[in-house]
């Protein structure tokens, strides 16, 4: 790796802290019918630990110049795909495998954190995600109502997953040292999901409610039946002067279910 030139534009900050690698691996709830997806193999820092879990690991890496380094990892349970993760057909790739649970375990390239999460959520049923992300981004994913970090993505993610912090990660845990702080977070899919009558409508409604963060519900929800919404809010002791960040996920579900 001595002559390797790190590409900032690809989010190449490789993990060098063994303690953090250990915490990531130990927090995973992997069983014999699990399959692990890693996005961004890099120099294999995490890949080398993932294969020790003895289940199939599919790792994606966009930078083909890392191949000679990654070729040094010899393992029957590892497949490395040198492609842009955002462009691959995940369902097609997964057809070749036998599994009951899918885990995304990765030190993500930060410039595409949200597109990666959206892709896996749209294309497959993901059971667990243990991902390294920029600290502020992780804080938003986990944010609770009545905080400034709480947004539509917090609502979507928390609808599907229980989200917890695994560990804070200092800049010194990487080479080269990134400018931002990091955090490892763990997403565990809820065993049962609350009933939503129309999922597309729910997501659209939540996105509209948060459209302009400083504006209240009356402004952001102008395209919906405001009278009906006002009545539903009244039953919750709230009204249209509230802002989206003051509504819980259950309240969003209740309103959207009554609107469809």
Please report whether residue 40 would count as binding ligand SAM according to CB under 6 A: yes
Of 69 and 251, which has the nearer Cβ to ligand SAM? 69
Q: Is the peptide bond before 176 cis (omega within 30 degrees of 0)?
A: yes
Of 42 and 247, which has the nearer Cβ to ligand SAM? 42
d(CA 81, CA 208): 37
CB of residue 164 vs ligand SAM: minimum separation in angstroms?
A: 20
Which part of the chain contacts ligand SAM (CB under 6 A), choosing from 12-20, 95-103, 133-141, 218-226? 12-20
All residues at 6 or more sequence positions from 131 whose CB lies less than 8 Å from its CB, including other chains: 104, 105, 106, 107, 108, 113, 117, 184, 185, 187
Please report whether residue 15 would count as binding ligand SAM according to CB under 6 A: yes
SS3 of 8-24: the string is HHHCCCEECCHHHHHHH
Please report whether residue 61 would count as binding ligand SAM according to CB under 6 A: yes
d(CA 107, CA 109): 7
**How far does CA 58 lie from the centroid of its chain?**
17
CB of residue 84 vs ligand SAM: minimum separation in angstroms?
A: 4
Which part of the chain contacts ligand SAM (CB under 6 A), choosing from 38-46, 92-100, 149-157, 165-173? 38-46
* Residues paired with residue 227 on neighbouring β-strands, in sequence order: none
Of 60 and 187, which has the nearer Cβ to ligand SAM? 60
Q: Using CB atoms within 10 Å of the CB of residue 255, give its burial: 0 to 12 exposed, 13 to 18 middle, 19+ buried.
A: buried
Q: Which of 28, 37, 39, 143 binds ligand SAM (CB under 6 A)?
A: 39
Q: Which of 4, 10, 23, 124 binds ligand SAM (CB under 6 A)?
A: 10
Please report whether residue 62 would count as binding ligand SAM according to CB under 6 A: yes
Of 166 and 255, which has the nearer Cβ to ligand SAM? 166
Question: Which residues ranging from 63 to 102 are in contact with ligand SAM (CB under 6 A)?
Answer: 63, 84-86
Tell me how long the chain is: 260
* Residue in the block written with tokens 């997953």: 161
Residues 108-147 as x/- pattern, contact with ligand SAM by CB under 6 A: -x--x-----------------------------------
What are the tokens at 148? 């400034």
Query: Where does residue 105 fall: left (phi above 0), alpha (psi -120 to 50 degrees), or beta otherwise?
Result: beta
d(CA 48, CA 191): 30
Of 61 and 245, which has the nearer Cβ to ligand SAM? 61
CB of residue 81 vs ligand SAM: minimum separation in angstroms?
A: 8
For residues 220 and 208, the answer to whether their CB atoms sit within 8 Å is yes
Q: Which residues of the chain form contacts with ligand SAM (CB under 6 A)?
A: 10-15, 39-42, 45-46, 60-63, 84-86, 107, 109, 112
């Amino acid at each position: 790796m001595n002559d390797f030139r790190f590409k900032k534009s690809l989010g190449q900050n490789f993990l060098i802290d063994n303690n953090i690698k250990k915490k990531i691996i130990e927090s995973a709830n992997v069983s014999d019918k699990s399959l692990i997806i890693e996005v961004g193999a890099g120099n294999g820092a995490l890949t080398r630990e993932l294969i020790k879990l003895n289940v199939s690991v599919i790792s994606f890496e966009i930078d083909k110049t890392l191949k000679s380094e990654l070729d040094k990892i010899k393992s029957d349970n590892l497949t490395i795909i040198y492609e842009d993760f955002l462009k691959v057909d995940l369902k097609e790739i997964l057809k070749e495998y036998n599994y009951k649970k899918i885990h995304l375990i990765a030190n993500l390239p930060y410039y595409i954190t949200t597109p990666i999460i959206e892709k896996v959520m749209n294309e497959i049923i993901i059971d667990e995600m243990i991902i390294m992300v920029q600290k502020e981004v992780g804080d938003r994913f986990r944010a609770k109502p009545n905080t400034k970090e709480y947004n539509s993505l917090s609502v979507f993610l928390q609808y599907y997953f229980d989200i917890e912090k695994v560990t804070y990660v200092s800049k010194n845990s990487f080479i080269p040292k990134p400018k931002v702080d990091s955090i490892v977070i763990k997403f565990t899919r809820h065993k049962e999901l609350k009933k939503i009558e129309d999922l597309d409508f729910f997501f659209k409604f939540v996105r509209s409610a948060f459209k302009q963060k400083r504006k209240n519900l009356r402004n952001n929800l102008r395209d919906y039946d405001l009278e009906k919404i006002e009545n539903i809010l009244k039953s919750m002791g709230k009204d249209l002067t509230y802002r989206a960040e003051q509504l819980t996920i259950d309240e969003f579900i209740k309103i959207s279910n009554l609107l469809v």
